Structure 1
Amino acid sequence: MEIVITGRHTQIKQRFRDVVESKMNRVTAIAPDAQRIQVKLTHEGNPRQADSAQRVELTVQAGKTVIRAEASSADEFSAFDMAIDKLTQRLRRARDRRKDHRRGLDHAPLPLEVPLAETPRPEDVAAPEPDNSAQDAVASDLGPGEAVEVQVGDTPIVIRRKLHIAEPMSIDEALYEMELIGHDFFLFVNKETNRPSVVYRRHGWSYGVFEIDTPEHVGGE
């Protein structure tokens, strides 16, 4: 398995590299098909954030599955320990899910209600001001995995566009993928409606779903 360690606003010490490499057997024991793990260490220079000055982000690619975890602490070693604990928990969940599918069993659905957000009416949505420089970011065709970045005028805003290829999935599957990568939202194509959709975390055990469509399609149904 390839191990890539990078630092942001900090230098990677050899001792940290040694600790990371020594604990990678926890990953390969659960996910022997893992091809690559990226370890990103970020230092926060604000003294008022000393208790969380070191943030470790872990990203594992195992087959078609990407699993993430991150944690912050006063030092990089404890941050890494917390992050890899989260990562191994998510790896186990992914492994158990694959086993259930091979046995022909349905995995237990998340014990949550998923409220569907109402689609706003076109007349209720204010039309954005045209921004030709922003449109440049999506003007060209991209291949799978390719990305483009464009700065908006003289502002510090940079728009990054990347094409990701994914199979349509159910809302339950999208929630599961969101939990694996540790995000508060997940973009997917709903296989029930074939619409671009986003699941997101609201509060507690409550989630929401946004589905996007055009007025022409909605009016024609």
Structure 2
Amino acid sequence: MDVSIHGRNVEITDRFEQYVESKTEKVAGLLPKAQAFEVRVSRLSDKSPKHGDRVEITLIGPGPVIRAESTGPDKYSAYDIAYGRVLERIRRSKDRAHDRRGRGRISLGDAAANDFAEVGVQPASGEILDAVSNGSVPVTGEAEKAYSPVVIRSKEFPAERLAVEEAVDQMELVGHDFFLFIDVETAKPSVVYRRKGWNYGVISLTED
């Protein structure tokens, strides 16, 4: 597994490189087929003692990319927190894979018939689906000229065709609260999102 460390407005010392490399052995043991372990360190403009440096970790290998980031008073503290999150996401992924081992995949139709109990997700209410489909959810675009304290950023990603379970896995691995995908069973744009505990929800778009 290749280890790379990059710094922005902060010096990457030999001591920090050795510190990072000494901790990657555990990652290699959990994911022996991992290809790259990338660390990006940046010095924050906020000079408060609690948030001095930010560390972003990206683990690349077979399967979904795993990402985590954190801030801390120095790069060592920030790295330890982000590194702990990477390990936790690896373990969660392995636990879910172990729980599903030996079980056949459940089609979206069968899962929906049982209120998604088998896959641990909960469908969105009819009110939410109606609000999304008829455009009543308020959206602020770049054309909005009036001042607003809310900053909206837009990103585009290649569409992925996944089953609901696979979308949940991808969401957990990147550490987000939601994940957009194309449902492989229905070919509909959908999003899974995190609820309390290990409960999840899914929203799909339809055209009238």
Q: TM-score, normalized by length of structure 1? A: 0.68
1:42 is displaced (CA, Å) by 1.9
Q: Which runs of 5+ in 2 are unaligned?
A: 106-116, 144-151
1:53 is displaced (CA, Å) by 1.6
Q: What is residue 3 of structure 1 aligned with on the other side? A: 3
Which letter does structure 1 place at the counterpart of 2:72?
S
1:195 is displaced (CA, Å) by 1.0
Distance, in Å, in 2 between the alignment partners of 1:83 and 1:184 is 17
Distance, in Å, in 2 between the alignment partners of 1:65 and 1:123 is 32
1:130 is displaced (CA, Å) by 10
- Alignment of 1:211 with 2:208, yes or no, is no
- Match runs of 1:33-182 below 5 Å: 33-48=33-48, 50-101=49-100, 103-105=101-103, 113-116=122-125, 117-120=128-131, 121-122=133-134, 124=136, 161-163=156-158, 166-170=160-164, 172-182=165-175
Distance, in Å, in 1 between the alignment partners of 2:98 and 2:27 is 17
Verify the 8 A CA contact 1:44 1:53 in the aligned structure 2: yes
**Stretch deviating more after TM superposition (4-13 or 54-63):** 4-13
1:98 is displaced (CA, Å) by 3.7
1:36 is displaced (CA, Å) by 0.8
Distance, in Å, in 2 between the alignment partners of 1:127 and 1:73 is 34
1:105-156 Cα shifts (integer Å, max 9, x gaps): 379967664535314354747899998xxxxxxxxxxxxxxxxxxxxxxxxx
Distance, in Å, in 1 between the alignment partners of 2:62 and 2:72 is 30
Three-state SS of the structure 1 residue aligned to 2:35 is: strand
**Stretch deviating more after TM superposition (173-182 or 92-101):** 92-101
Three-state SS of the structure 1 residue aligned to 2:19 is: helix
**Stretch deviating more after TM superposition (73-82 or 112-121):** 112-121
Aligned residues: 185
**Stretch deviating more after TM superposition (8-17 or 204-213):** 204-213
Distance, in Å, in 2 between the alignment partners of 1:21 and 1:182 is 23
Verify the 8 A CA contact 1:100 1:106 in the aligned structure 2: no
Distance, in Å, in 1 between the alignment partners of 2:89 and 2:141 is 42
Distance, in Å, in 2 between the alignment partners of 1:111 and 1:211 is 16
Three-state SS of the structure 2 residue aligned to 1:176 is: helix
Q: TM-score, normalized by length of structure 2? A: 0.71
Verify the 8 A CA contact 1:56 1:80 in the aligned structure 2: yes
Identical counterparts, % of pairs:
35
Distance, in Å, in 2 between the alignment partners of 1:31 and 1:43 is 30
Verify the 8 A CA contact 1:119 1:210 in the aligned structure 2: no
Q: Which runs of 5+ in 1 are unaligned?
A: 132-156
1:183 is displaced (CA, Å) by 1.3
Distance, in Å, in 2 between the alignment partners of 1:33 and 1:51 is 36
Distance, in Å, in 2 between the alignment partners of 1:10 and 1:167 is 40
Q: What is residue 15 of structure 1 aligned with on the other side? A: 15
